[in-house]
Amino acid sequence: MLEIGTLHYLLVGALLFLIGMIGVITRRNVVIIFMSIELMLSSVNLNLLAFSRLYGLHGQVFALFIAADAAAEAAVGLGILIAFFRNRATVNMDEVHLLKW
């Protein structure tokens, strides 16, 4: 079999990012949109770790910060989701148009 290089990991990370992006853009359910965002953050982590194998350990520290950021984002996002569900009784993304003109 082929030798596994950095490019393989970057390709897997790009594919996971694209799948998450499709989920964010096309789905209606806010919960699934949040989960797709978590998937995108995790695929970026995969990229950072693949580069950290080439350039030293700094990429792993950056990945750690991204993990902390993902936790903060999930907490705030789910708080917004609960507040939105209390006001509108739905989790449908098409109903979120308060700031649209």
Partner 1 sequence: MTPVATPFFFYLLSGIALISAIVMITKVNPVHSALALIVTLLACAGLYLMLYAPFMAGVQIVLYAGGILVMFLFVMMLVNIEHLYIEKMLNSQWRVGLAATAMFALLMLGALVKGAGTLPQHIVNSPENSNVQQIGLLLYGRGSGYYMFPFEIASILLLVAVVGAVVMAKRRV
Positions in 29-58 near partner 1 (CB under 8 A): 29, 31-32, 34-36, 38-39, 42-43, 45-46, 49-50, 52-58
| Site membership for partner 1, residue 88 (CB under 8 A) | no
Stated as kind and residue range, the H or E segment containing 94 is none
Cβ neighbourhood burial of 75 (10 Å; 0-12, 13-18, 19+):
exposed
10-29 positions binding partner 1, by CB under 8 A: 10-12, 14-23, 25-29
Nearer to partner 1 by Cβ, of 54 and 99: the residue is 54
68 neighbors 56 (Cβ within 8 angstroms): no
